[in-house]
Structure 1
């Protein structure tokens, strides 16, 4: 059994993904700043760090098997990158032009000055062919409808339909939001996913008006009209640049290939039962694993039972390398599919148009996503069957006739937690019950308070600060 020394506090971080690595970094930073006697043990069940951040580099190509970019509105990633000395590696997209595939017809460009499908200016929206005239008139009712009087949570889809109407949501908003959250907007929680929209409605009397007001108060570089989106960023040499830098900065004890099987109280400390038949005694724990794994750690105490009801979707990313000339007729960077289309794909990104440096000259790298709520079976197909399905969709979408030079299929089973209605209260209740029994244990990660890279980093930071206050109060 490994014991903690008398003059130190020991914290275990379970999970070496971006949340766990960020928690370790901020624990170290705060411990040095306040001269806390702290020892950190980072346990990762696999033999690699980074979780979903995986970059494949080969023959001059940079292929992301997981997230390929991020939006950093509050500079969470920038601040961390600056502290790590890798802020100079951040790059912003050179170009972005988004299309929607509706009813298997010709691709329609998304109007300018649109955020998540929501227009912030009327003129470009009215000139679009994505929605009929009656649908456009109904959508502009958002500017006149009174705020809703619904108490408690509601679905994202219900809120959007009330503000903008069925056709507008189906053709414009739903493809965006389903792509962002990999879920069904009629099951997703407004309070947990986009509470800012409810704030716009309540304070400005309109979602469009509230969004427009926020844009006028923001740094103009944060939102660019030509990109039709908040500025999207990545790391020049791949997203796992952040993982490697965090790992290099970690000066605690790293245990790879070691899984925690249970957590028990041991006098004033915590005892972690490991899969290598040993025990680890610590003073505090940050659990940065998916919620399914976190719940299993407390089965003996019957804690975190609420987490069982959090569903997760299975998705796959399919990266394909083509001759650039094959895609010459298509000028877009992103395509989202509406649910009324017959495509198996949910989205397609021409990565080389957004980030020209990731491939040798003359080549195009497409990243395609498949897997919807209720349609996980397609992800279980063989690599060759998935490749065939994707190519058939690409042929219909953009007329591609050539076969790719190379295809990389990456599966993410039960990896996309769904923030269904009541998620915020569910998580709050689970954390409160956990605190009552284990006041020095914290939960962090994309199952709880945000799925994006900045949100996961922020959770790591916040939980590190909270735990240190508890340990050294």
Structure 2
């Protein structure tokens, strides 16, 4: 019987193991996780009537792979959308909080009427943005994301709208992101439609808008319900928690040396952060290992406060983003009880702050979040509870040159039976990670001699 070891019990590793087991239930699969729990950054807390997420809190509907998995797991009745809100969120420019224009597709305006009424841009900024419809498309070559948006829509749209919206996705300076790696859909819109605005208008007809609660989705019990459902489906798979891989050997098979002993396998999937994979592969493929270590990561954190609702000032929509270089420590706030139904008991509210690229202790993160709330509200009531989550290497950063680094990193798959998966390669969102997990599972099945899983078999 063929055997596969999957290293990493986050969304990527769980997806690989699930799709392998669905297509080949008699395949011997072992899932190794260094932590005491599965799920990686998917961290749902249910406590005293509160339901909150330490990591991601939603998936986007127009990237179908996460919701397809949800349906396969029988959780379709648990899917919920965000509560309708208009405006859905605000951007604080350091002086005042202003509504995000309605009708955005990703970060691109699709409603020129809403853009014309928006106080975020000056009259000249609005005229410059509208001229995007007339600007010839550029080349298909890569460029910094900030330069791409400025070229198409002007500096004001970049500084006042797109930079705040995109800054929390990958961390670090969003201007330096690789457009082709981080936002390939936008580059494709330019090439296919000749205009980002024109392409966004078409997409809005297909996808709906965040104002109607149609863009984002979660589960009634939080995204942790997805992890729990996967764990149940993998009950026949050997799962080893608190197990760190220390070294790898490749002879006529894989030998995986762990803190709990040595395993043998025909195929090996590294669904670990790029730096971890690079360290393990250094003796076996130095070139790929070097490329893996060159993929930068940034810290990510969330702080969630529970407040007595009567003590809070009015809050608009689902939350607020903070413009860069305006003296804020947080990248943004989410009014969780106004974004999702049933997340706080009667009379209480949940406020979530998120940080990107900031290393600090849990106490310091909470203090910084309260300081920024005080700047917004004037004074902040005493929280009745505080939850803090921090990952020192929380977000891979797709900076310029990312695709070339990934190409060199994936050369490690020339080693027989080795496969790489995870957020470091082709997308940081949960849907993209699940999609890669499914694709890797298909390739593993081919390698170990099982028939490639068909769509019907996986469903």
Change (3 A) 1:470 1:357: same
* Equivalent in 296, 299, 311 of residue 296 of structure 2: 311
- How far has the Cα of 1:400 moved from its partner? 4.3
Q: How far apart are the structure 2 equivalents of 1:413 and 1:27?
A: 31
Q: How far apart are the structure 1 equivalents of 2:372 and 2:163?
A: 20
- How far has the Cα of 1:106 moved from its partner? 1.4
* Equivalent in 152, 156, 172 of residue 163 of structure 1: 152
Kindly provide the CA deviation profile for residues 173-205 of structure 1, in whole angstroms up to 9, marking residues without a partner as x: 100000222231221111111111111111211
- How far has the Cα of 1:328 moved from its partner? 4.2
- Is 1:274 the counterpart of 2:258? The answer is yes
Change (3 A) 1:289 1:95: same
1:224-303, aligned counterparts within 5 Å?
A: 224=209, 226-227=211-212, 231-250=215-234, 251-267=236-252, 269-276=253-260, 278-301=261-284, 302=286, 303=288
1:27-38, aligned counterparts within 5 Å?
A: 27-32=20-25, 37-38=26-27
Q: How far apart are the structure 1 equivalents of 2:362 and 2:214?
A: 36
Kindly provide the CA deviation profile for residues 119-146 of structure 1, in whole angstroms up to 9, marking residues without a partner as x: 1121110111101111111112211111
- Is 1:195 the counterpart of 2:184? The answer is yes
Moved over 4 A (4+): none
Q: Is the 8 A contact 1:116 1:173 kept in 2?
A: no
Aligned to 1:407: 386
Q: Is the 8 A contact 1:154 1:189 kept in 2?
A: yes
- Is 1:209 the counterpart of 2:198? The answer is yes
CA RMSD, aligned part only?
A: 1.6
Name structure 2 gaps, 5 residues minimum: 451-459
Kindly provide the CA deviation profile for residues 390-431 of structure 1, in whole angstroms up to 9, marking residues without a partner as x: 112112223443121111111111111101112122212221
* Equivalent in 431, 438, 443 of residue 461 of structure 1: 438
Aligned to 2:413: 435
Q: Is the 8 A contact 1:179 1:336 kept in 2?
A: no
- Is 1:101 the counterpart of 2:59? The answer is no
Name structure 1 gaps, 5 residues minimum: 1-7
Q: How far apart are the structure 1 equivalents of 2:211 and 2:241?
A: 45
Q: How far apart are the structure 2 equivalents of 1:306 and 1:61?
A: 42
Q: How far apart are the structure 2 equivalents of 1:24 and 1:114?
A: 36
Q: Is the 8 A contact 1:330 1:398 kept in 2?
A: no
Q: Is the 8 A contact 2:313 2:377 kept in 1?
A: no
- Is 1:15 the counterpart of 2:23? The answer is no
Q: How far apart are the structure 2 equivalents of 1:14 and 1:425?
A: 24
Kindly provide the CA deviation profile for residues 150-195 of structure 1, in whole angstroms up to 9, marking residues without a partner as x: 63x2111110111111122100110000022223122111111111
What is the TM-score with the length of structure 1 in the denominator?
0.91
Q: How far apart are the structure 2 equivalents of 1:387 and 1:274?
A: 36
Change (3 A) 1:94 1:382: closer
* Equivalent in 118, 129, 140 of residue 139 of structure 1: 129
Q: Is the 8 A contact 2:172 2:356 kept in 1?
A: no
Q: How many residues align?
A: 445
Aligned to 1:5: none
Q: How far apart are the structure 2 equivalents of 1:324 and 1:225?
A: 25
Aligned to 1:4: none
Q: Is the 8 A contact 1:93 1:354 kept in 2?
A: yes
Q: How far apart are the structure 2 equivalents of 1:394 and 1:19?
A: 35
- How far has the Cα of 1:338 moved from its partner? 0.9
Q: What SS is found at the alignment partner of 1:448?
A: helix
Q: How far apart are the structure 2 equivalents of 1:365 and 1:400?
A: 17
Aligned to 2:76: 87
- Is 1:321 the counterpart of 2:311? The answer is no
Q: Is the 8 A contact 1:110 1:117 kept in 2?
A: no
